[in-house]
Amino acid sequence: MSAVRFGGDGLVPVVAQEHRTGDVLMLAYADREALERTAATGLAHYFSRSR
């Protein structure tokens, strides 16, 4: 996690891909909490910029 460079807004862009083809499914944003939850659960967590 220390290698991740968060922007001034505390977010980093993340990409969800189809695991077999590598096709990009979406571009989203994550904050540190979302990345930590993703690592802990194995499920993707994202930050909602429209809160």
**Sign of the Cα pseudo-torsion (41, 42, 44, 47, in order):** positive
**Token duo for residue 47:** 């930050």
Per the listing, tokens 């979406």 go with 26
From the CA atom positions of the chain, what is the Rg in Å? 11
Domain boundaries defined on the chain: 1-51
Specify the pLDDT at position 42: 96
Portion of the chain with pLDDT greater than 70, in percent: 98
Specify the pLDDT at position 49: 82
Q: The whole model's pTM is what? A: 0.82
Q: Residue 16: pLDDT above 80?
A: yes
Query: 1-51 sits in which CATH class?
Result: alpha beta
pLDDT per position as a tens digit, 27-49: 999 999 999 999 999 999 999 98
Q: Using alpha carbons, list the distances in angstroms from residue 1 to 36, 39, 51.
A: 8, 10, 25
